[in-house]
Amino acid sequence: MKWEKIPVGPFAMNCYILSCEKTGEGIVVDPGDEVELILSVIREIGVNLLQIIITHGHVDHVLQLKRFQDLTGLPTAMHPLDREYLNQLPQTAALFGLEAAGIPEIDIELEEGQTIQFGDVRLEVVHTPGHTPGSISLIGEGHAVVGDVLFNGSIGRTDLPGASYPQLISTIKSKLLVLDDHVKVLPGHGEVTTIGFERLNNPFLR
C-alpha cells in the first residue's frame, strides 16, 4: 500500500491518500480542508479514488468535506455515532472563526469489522472511541490510520464533548497496542510513528 500525507487547514490536520500500487485504486481519508491542494496531489500521483473515509467528526476533519464531495461525487463513509458533529458543523466552525462548506452527507455507516478494499489492499475498520464516540481506525498492510486517537508521543484530546479519557486509554491498549511493533501509525496530526515506538516512549501509555 502506498500513502501520501497532506497537512491541511489551520489545525494542520493530516489528510491521507491511500492507494494500491498494483491497480492505482485508492481512498482519501479526512479531506477536511484545502480541497484544491488535495485534488492536485491526487491528480499528480494518478490515484483512481473510490471512496472518502472520515475517521471522526471533529471540525478540522470535515470543515470543507461538503465541497470535496460536491467536486468529486465520491461516496463518504463514517461511523454513525459521530453524525451529530456534522449536524452542528456550521455552528462549531463559527466558534473558531471558520466557515464550513455545508453539512456533508454520509452515504455509508462504518462499523467494527467491516473491510475497506481498493485494488489488492484490504483494511479493517476498527471502532476506536474515546476521542469521539464514533472514532474509527483503518488497520492492515502494516499500517494503522488512527485519526486523533494516538499521536507521536501523545494521545487525542479528551476535554471535548463526547470524549472520555478512560475509554481512550482502554481503546489504545486493547485495539492498537495489540498490533506488532513494526506497524506504522498514521495519525490525524503530526508525524508518522510506529506501535513499537509508542509502546516504549508514549508517556500516556506507560
Cβ atoms < 10 Å from Cβ of 112: 12
Report the pLDDT value the prediction gives residue 82, as an integer from 0 to 100: 98
Give the tens place of pLDDT for each residue, 19-53: 999 999 999 999 999 999 999 999 999 999 999 99
Residues above pLDDT 90, as percent of the chain: 100
11-16: long-range contacts, CB 8 A cutoff, minimum separation 24? 11/60, 11/189, 12/189, 13/60, 13/61, 13/188, 13/189, 14/186, 14/187, 14/188, 14/189, 14/190, 16/145, 16/186
Give the mean model confidence (pLDDT) for residues 96-120. 97
Segment 67-89 mean pLDDT: 98
pLDDT digits (tens, 9 = 90+) for 51-69: 999 999 999 999 999 999 9
Q: Are 110 and 78 in contact (CB under 8 A)?
A: yes
For residue 21, the SS3 value is: coil
Which domains occur in the chain, in start order?
2-205 (3.60.15.10)
CB atoms within 10 A of CB 206: 7
Its pTM surpasses 0.95: yes
What are 147's three cell numbers?
485519526
Confidence of residue 206 (pLDDT cuts 50, 70, 90): confident
Coil, strand, or helix at residue 39?
A: helix
